[in-house]
């Protein structure tokens, strides 16, 4: 899996990320800047998930 989203793709996905993970703040989304690992880390942090749980959730969301 590509560990980063292209800049154009990330700009399109920001709103969808906020819809899916509403606990992420605008600052969180801004810090992620399309980096897969950053997204996983923020989901883990905001939702109290393990790293593996957060990674599976993000991967599943990307695949859908």
Q: What is the pTM of this model?
A: 0.87
Return the minimum-mean-pLDDT range out of 6-10, 15-19, 25-29, 59-63: 6-10
CB 60 within 8 A of CB 46: no
Query: Which is nearest to 47 in space by CA: 28, 33, 63?
Result: 28
Q: Where are the domains of the chain?
A: 7-63
CA 59 – CA 63 distance, rounded (Å):
6
**Helical spans, DSSP H, in the chain:** 7-20, 26-32, 36-47, 51-63
Q: Could you tell me the pLDDT band of residue 10, with boundaries at 50, 70 and 90?
A: confident
User: What's residue 1's pLDDT?
Assistant: 44
Do 56 and 45 meet the contact criterion of CB atoms below 8 Å apart? Answer: no
CATH classification code of 7-63: 1.10.1470.10
| Spatial contact of 20 and 61, defined as CB atoms under 8 Å apart | yes
């Amino acid at each position: 899996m590509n560990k980063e989203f292209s800049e154009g793709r990330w700009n399109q996905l920001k709103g969808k990320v906020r819809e899916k993970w509403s606990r992420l703040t605008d600052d969180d989304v801004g810090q992620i800047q399309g980096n897969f690992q950053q997204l996983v880390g923020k989901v883990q942090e905001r939702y109290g998930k393990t790293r593996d749980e957060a990674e599976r959730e993000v991967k599943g969301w990307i695949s859908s």
